[in-house]
Structure 1
Amino acid sequence: MAGELDILRAIGRGHPTRRFTARLDGRDKELSAVTWDEIQVAVQATMLEIAEPISHLINKGLIDSSREYPSLIGKLAGKKPITYFWITKNGEATLNSISDQQKPADDADDNDLIVEVDDKMLELGFILSKYGTAVALLSRQSGYSAAETASHLALATIARDIREEPNNLDMTLAIANQAREMLQVLKRFVDDGDMRADFFKNDGLALVKISTPGPEQHEWLNRVLSDEIVARDRVANHEINYGLPS
């Protein structure tokens, strides 16, 4: 279960690209804020598990929050309010006071984390989108390897392609061929120690199921895209266009 310090660190890292404008001390300020979903991914915990620690952090003045409400058109489209969290000066001071021995061992530069994912994505035949870069960074900061992150994002990209064009026969054949090649690359990731065997087992099964037309395909597409963060927007594009969306 994620502790308050883990959550404070996750909120302190903020979002790598998006900025949220909040009214602080009578002035508008752009903040690197994160949402409930993003905190859950960062600390690998459920909403119920992080709700109480977040409440404590707010009461201690270490983090703050605000809600962004959709426009009238957004409401009609079914959009819901989004709560954003950011670290306060007191929260930053708390993190700065923690000794180096207490900080996470993996303190690599964010850019290095992304470059590693980029390389693995290229081996699988994909290029990260701008949104995918942000999701990849969240995944790496949560402890997933570059190969595991790339596998997850590639899988989500294929699932999105199939869902967007379910009756495209050329695309279906291209994806089936690509899936076979991807399985070989994922197996190599495991052999090289870049991916845990259970990840290969789970992602490999999902890859076969979503790339094979049949009664189970729709169910597995829903499973892969049940992750709201990867399903929210396109996380990657195909390096070579085999008649697939770009």
Structure 2
Amino acid sequence: MVLFGNTLYYPGCLAKIKLNYIAKNYEKILTQLGIPFITIKDIELCCGTPVRNAGYRQEFYDIIEKNKEIFDNQKITKIITNCPTCYRIFNEEYGIKTEHITQTIANNLSKLKKDYNGEKVTYHDPCSLRKEKIFDEPRDILKAVGFELIEMKRTKDQAMCCGAGGLLKANSPKIADRIAMLRLNQAMINKIITTCPLCYMHLKQNAKEVQVLELSEVLL
């Protein structure tokens, strides 16, 4: 899908491949908000974070250079991504203006059309957004569509990891699952919304009595 403009919507690997409906949701949301963007999912690469986390520093920087070349060739001047990890690495390593999609949506709250009429939900802060101090935007979005937000026991800069980060889910899945259960038990309400595809997938896989949703699912 290619629309128009010099702003790239970059879904990240999970939303592009395994959770493709999330990427499709955000494309619809950006379109509804009237935000011009392009997608280049057929040629863009992973942001490189998993390679870096695995210790392959040179390969990580090789990926960055290849992506930079692709972005330059496509005349990309700005990136919007729904992946907190991609957002953080683009800001730290790529030297290109980047927004997490919650920042983009939070600047267009008046255009949101849903109304949940006071339904109670809680919000899980992803690690990379916590490190970037992106706390208010997702909460503002949830309130703008009519949710009553009931905070978790540990929240914002004190929030726990979901358990899947840093390749822990791949290398020590049982430990990752135990951490997920600890986090789920901190919910004060039985519906959790998050803005990270990895958090969403991992918490959902471990949730028994709690409904786990990704933000885009409640905005359409």
Greater percentage in helix: 1
Fold equivalence (TM over 0.5):
no
| Structure with bigger gyration radius | 1
**Taking structure 1 as the reference length, what is the TM-score of the superposition?**
0.27
